[in-house]
Chains A and B, each alone.
Chain A
Amino acid sequence: MSDIPKPVVFKSVDEMPEVPVSVANTLYNRTGSWRNLKPVIREKTGPCATSCPLWIDIPVFMDLLGMGKVEEALQVILKRNPFPSLTGRLCPRTCEIACNRNKFDEAISIRALERFLGDLSLGKKGKPPKKETARRVAIIGSGPAGLTAAFLLRQKGHMVDVFERYKKPGGHLAKYVPPYKLPPYIMESEITDLEKMGVKFNLKKEVGKDIPFEKLMETYDAIYIASGYSKEVPLDIPGGHLAESGLKILERTLEGNVPGENRFAIIGSGLAAFHLARTLKRLGKDVLLVAEATEKGIKVPSEDVERAREEGVEILLETKVKGIKEKTDRRILEIEGPEGTRTLEAEMVVNGNQGQASLDFLPSELLEGNRLKVDIKTAATPMKGVFGGSDPANIARAIAWGRKAAISIDQFLNGQELSPEARPPLVVGYKEIQTEYFLHEKRRDPKVLSVKERFEKPWDEEVLQLSETEAIKEALRCFSCGHCNSCGNCWVYCPDQSILWVDNAPQVNYDYCKGCGICTMECPRGIIDLVPERE
């Protein structure tokens, strides 16, 4: 600080310049000592990121995408989620529900942008690890949870064997998700990348049947139980046995083996029920969906319900099936709904219930009733080296389980104590957004095929891709909550020039900052907090 000029005191008029111009400066006066409150610049995040089970740093990737830095934006997603092409199509977008922009105009099309970026990574992720650890991990189940753990553990250099009962990897995504929602090439590309990394898939290998669980225990250093939820739950009503298994019919239909019946009654309101209803309808069948749920109580994303209706699926809500009777080639359903009790006819009745976990192959010490005993934070089970857990209803949560398990397994294999990832602590709420800095602008949704087009090409992907221009424009709508995008407002508005600009980012010069709080007020995205000088 010796380069700071000392204050100049003029003793006579002769010492002064004739022009009123500064001959020193006021830097000797450390006005920072006047401060009671101090601004603290801290990177936070938006509610989108914390409501995403994967904690994807959405404001950061939006910022990068908005600048056209497509590859860097993609890397931000890949850091948290190896399969953005899957979530970009199938996740229930809790991020968009939480988006602060909902209170301003409309949420950002986060999922569509994730898909846009994710698809750029297809076929490019299959790089073998830099070093091998020679540790062996068995993963039971190749759904999104299992694939995620396989990807992350292989990245760490562990040998990964995936055991899958079905003939194709992908778990329920391979069996129960129609191609119009997830084109098969996506999953094929992800699997190819995993194979290129060195992940080994053992298909048509059912643990407990083809290989005993104990065998895995002997052979592998760690096991991740990520088996699916494909065990049928029978309908507990008179004549329940007359209902066909929804999962089986769905699997069959998607394989091209379409049932010959023409009028279907599907009982249930889960994703499997909707997938089956929509698929059969597209194939020209009459489909009725009967569910006890209310409109709001339906657990599937509203877009699935909406599209099912558009396509002509008849949906009876708040309706209970009291029983099923057989009548030659017909089934008679006795239903009780808002309009009272009546009967319906169908050629085939389908049990559209979601499946249950099938964990019979596991030793009893891992079970608690029909559930796996796992620590929700670390995915550890009571058995050393055995980890487990997934989520059937939400692909993002399933991937988060896979990530959690992979982290724990890697720590376990390295002899470390298990320490799960910390949740992003600071979230910027809508009230902290200085909305006067933003313009109202309509959300860009990707184009969806018309109903006519959907019937003409029933297997084609129904949601189209955003163009790069649209994607960038949409990303630019993002408030970038909690993420400093170097807008420079704090620098511009600081009346004391106490915001320094270092490496294209603001820094507070506490020597001179008086703590007026203007930077806090003018930060459009809530990054600068004003905190007491002495806490």
Chain B
Amino acid sequence: MGKKMVLTGNHSVSYGALLSRVEVISAYPITPQTQIVELLSEFVADKILNAIFVNVESEHSAMSACIGASAAGARAFTATSAQGLALMHEMLHWAAGARLPIVMANVNRAMAPPWSVWTDQNDSLAQRDTGWMQIYCESNQEVLDTVIQAYKVSEQVLLPTMLVLDAFVLSHTAEPVEIYDQELVDEYLPPYEAKYRLEPGKPQAFGSLADARTYFEFRYKMQKAMEKALGLIEKEGELFGEMFGRKYGLVEEFMMDDADYVLVTSATITSTAKVVVKELRKEGEKVGLLKMRVLRPFPFEAVRRALGDRKKVAVIDRNISFGHHGVFYQEIKSALYPLEKRPQIFGYITGLGGRDVTPKDIRDMYFDMKKREKVEEIIWKGVKL
């Protein structure tokens, strides 16, 4: 057994990276992420972690340094948030296209302007199509566990992973977190052996020009790797459960047996919603909850299995794709479309820029969904209309 510590979400990331024995860390400070790499830099300085900490002048360079390190066969880590993530955009494509198993923590922070340091998901969702896997975490323990699992999966499929946690609600909130024995983590996550690596004396061109005769196939292979990752995330989540006592999947079903109505959530709203669902169940409501943990690769089968046979579904999005809808709503709706029998689906936009999403808000959304007859485009919750 490991030991329990009271850790913020940010420090849970740091401990996850420590236990994963990352070898190169390159980062640029940004609120609310800074504490993650601050603690890691202390680990490195105190020789608790045998890694190289590369200070850089921007997030673009931070990701570039991670790319170089990973290409050379090192386990590379970085963390960022919001504008920092946006500045990395080009290199996110590079990391994924070069098939480098980098793991990054992104603390969900609303994009500016207007400036905000509080949470919503638009920063990470804007990077949805860069070829990174995305895992949204609900608790500090899940954050720590996901760092370790992310390396395990990434290094098998050669795709990078972005694990996502809410600004302040997780990043700066302390919870008891179990820190596992290093030996056990080492057993779960062996050292990274790069199949392709930059090596002096063995010159090879990495990521150079691929003309129209070959480029297409590389993209095909990326998609195949994403598809393979779906199974691996489940398999490794299962194994993680066996070894550490906490099982993880692509999605999490909560009180879903015989539920006619389902709330779909991600990240910390899930915890609040679970409380509400429990209360509603006591009141006799046939309600369940589906937590979306993995957005990329998208868990089509798990979503269809969970939602296909329900009456109504409410998707709660803490994000907005301007001109369309909440991103989770879009994705879930399109996943259900091929089903012959599918539920009515409602999309709620709420909590942007860190506005609280309270149990009452969720309760309201549940009853709103229940009484609604026809599907509307966007249902705003909590906006001062």
A-B contact pairs, 20 of them (CB 8 A): A10-B213, A13-B217, A13-B221, A16-B214, A16-B217, A16-B218, A16-B221, A17-B196, A18-B218, A18-B221, A18-B225, A19-B99, A19-B158, A19-B196, A20-B99, A21-B204, A21-B205, A21-B206, A22-B204, A23-B204
- Among A10, A18, A19, max chain B CB count under 10 A is at A19
Nearest CB on A from B92, distance (A): 16
- Among A21, A22, A23, max chain B CB count under 10 A is at A21
Q: Is the CB of A20 within 8 A of B208?
A: yes
Q: Is the CB of A19 within 8 A of B195?
A: yes
Q: How far, in angstroms, from A21 to B100 measured CA to CA in the complex?
A: 12
Q: Is the CB of A18 within 8 A of B208?
A: no
B residues less than 8 Å from A16 (CB atoms): 214, 217-218, 221
- Contact among A13, A21, A23 with B220 in the assembled complex (CB-CB below 8 Å): A13
Number of interface residues of B (CB under 8 A): 19
Q: Is the CB of A10 within 8 A of B196?
A: no
CB 8 Å contact bits of A8-28 with B (1 = contact, 0 = none): 001001001111111100000
Q: How far, in angstroms, from A10 to B207 measured CA to CA in the complex?
A: 17
B residues less than 8 Å from A23 (CB atoms): 204
Q: Is the CB of B217 within 8 A of A21?
A: no
B residues less than 8 Å from A17 (CB atoms): 196
Asked if B97 is at the interface of the complex by the 8 Å CB criterion, the answer is yes
Q: How far, in angstroms, from A418 to B218 measured CA to CA in the complex?
A: 73
B residues less than 8 Å from A22 (CB atoms): 204-206, 208
Q: How far, in angstroms, from A19 to B100 measured CA to CA in the complex?
A: 8
A residues 1-44 touching B (CB-CB < 8 Å): 10, 13, 16-23
Q: Is the CB of B158 within 8 A of A10?
A: no
A residues less than 8 Å from B158 (CB atoms): 18-19
CB 8 Å contact bits of B268-294 with A (1 = contact, 0 = none): 000000000000000000000000000
Q: Is the CB of A20 within 8 A of B204?
A: no
Q: Kindly report which residue of chain B lies nearest to residue A10, judged by CB atoms.
A: B214
B residues less than 8 Å from A20 (CB atoms): 97-99, 206-208, 210, 218
Please name 5 further chain A to chain B contacts, defined as beta carbons within 8 Å, in addition to the given A19-B196, A23-B204, sorted by A numbering: A19-B98, A20-B98, A20-B99, A20-B208, A22-B208
CB 8 Å contact bits of B209-238 with A (1 = contact, 0 = none): 010011001101100010000000000000
Q: How far, in angstroms, from A358 to B97 measured CA to CA in the complex?
A: 90
Give the size range of A's interface with the partner: 10 to 19
A residues less than 8 Å from B214 (CB atoms): 10, 16
A residues less than 8 Å from B196 (CB atoms): 17, 19, 21
Q: How far, in angstroms, from A17 to B205 measured CA to CA in the complex?
A: 13
Q: How far, in angstroms, from A46 to B257 measured CA to CA in the complex?
A: 92
Nearest CB on B from A232, distance (A): 78
Q: How far, in angstroms, from A17 to B194 measured CA to CA in the complex?
A: 13
Q: How far, in angstroms, from A10 to B158 measured CA to CA in the complex?
A: 21
Q: How far, in angstroms, from A19 to B218 measured CA to CA in the complex?
A: 8
Q: How far, in angstroms, from A22 to B158 measured CA to CA in the complex?
A: 17
Nearest CB on B from A264, distance (A): 76
Q: How far, in angstroms, from A20 to B213 measured CA to CA in the complex?
A: 13
Q: How far, in angstroms, from A11 to B110 measured CA to CA in the complex?
A: 46
A residues less than 8 Å from B97 (CB atoms): 20
Nearest 4 CB-CB pairings of A with B: A22-B205, A19-B99, A13-B217, A19-B196
B residues 184-215 touching A (CB-CB < 8 Å): 195-196, 204-208, 210, 213-214
B residues less than 8 Å from A18 (CB atoms): 99, 158, 218, 221, 225
Q: How far, in angstroms, from A17 to B218 measured CA to CA in the complex?
A: 8
Nearest CB on A from B102, distance (A): 13
B residues less than 8 Å from A21 (CB atoms): 196, 204-207
Q: How far, in angstroms, from A23 to B195 measured CA to CA in the complex?
A: 13
Q: How far, in angstroms, from A21 to B97 measured CA to CA in the complex?
A: 11
Q: Kindly report which residue of chain B lies nearest to residue A9, judged by CB atoms.
A: B213
Nearest CB on A from B262, distance (A): 37
- Among A18, A20, A23, max chain B CB count under 10 A is at A20
- Among B206, B213, B217, max chain A CB count under 10 A is at B217
Nearest CB on A from B125, distance (A): 26
A residues less than 8 Å from B99 (CB atoms): 18-20
CB 8 Å contact bits of A85-109 with B (1 = contact, 0 = none): 0000000000000000000000000
Q: Kindly report which residue of chain A lies nearest to residue B198, judged by CB atoms.
A: A21
A residues less than 8 Å from B204 (CB atoms): 21-23
B residues 321-349 touching A (CB-CB < 8 Å): none
Q: How far, in angstroms, from A17 to B217 measured CA to CA in the complex?
A: 10
Q: How far, in angstroms, from A186 to B99 measured CA to CA in the complex?
A: 74
Q: Kindly report which residue of chain A lies nearest to residue B157, judged by CB atoms.
A: A18
A residues less than 8 Å from B195 (CB atoms): 19
Q: Kindly report which residue of chain A lies nearest to residue B159, judged by CB atoms.
A: A18
Q: Kindly report which residue of chain B lies nearest to residue A16, judged by CB atoms.
A: B217
Q: How far, in angstroms, from A21 to B198 measured CA to CA in the complex?
A: 10
A residues less than 8 Å from B220 (CB atoms): 13
A residues less than 8 Å from B217 (CB atoms): 10, 13, 16
Q: How far, in angstroms, from A23 to B205 measured CA to CA in the complex?
A: 8
A residues less than 8 Å from B205 (CB atoms): 21-22
Q: Kindly report which residue of chain B lies nearest to residue A13, judged by CB atoms.
A: B217
Q: How far, in angstroms, from A13 to B217 measured CA to CA in the complex?
A: 6
- Among B97, B221, B225, max chain A CB count under 10 A is at B221
Q: How far, in angstroms, from A18 to B98 measured CA to CA in the complex?
A: 9
Nearest CB on A from B61, distance (A): 22
Nearest CB on B from A168, distance (A): 67
A residues less than 8 Å from B218 (CB atoms): 16, 18, 20
Nearest CB on B from A15, distance (A): 9
Q: How far, in angstroms, from A271 to B251 measured CA to CA in the complex?
A: 103
B residues less than 8 Å from A13 (CB atoms): 217, 220-221
CB 8 Å contact bits of B86-124 with A (1 = contact, 0 = none): 000000000001110000000000000000000000000
B residues less than 8 Å from A10 (CB atoms): 213-214, 217
CB 8 Å contact bits of B345-358 with A (1 = contact, 0 = none): 00000000000000
Q: How far, in angstroms, from A134 to B210 measured CA to CA in the complex?
A: 76
Q: Kindly report which residue of chain A lies nearest to residue B216, judged by CB atoms.
A: A13
Q: Kindly report which residue of chain B lies nearest to residue A22, judged by CB atoms.
A: B205
Q: How far, in angstroms, from A130 to B158 measured CA to CA in the complex?
A: 73
B residues 115-143 touching A (CB-CB < 8 Å): none
Q: How far, in angstroms, from A22 to B198 measured CA to CA in the complex?
A: 11
Q: How far, in angstroms, from A23 to B99 measured CA to CA in the complex?
A: 16
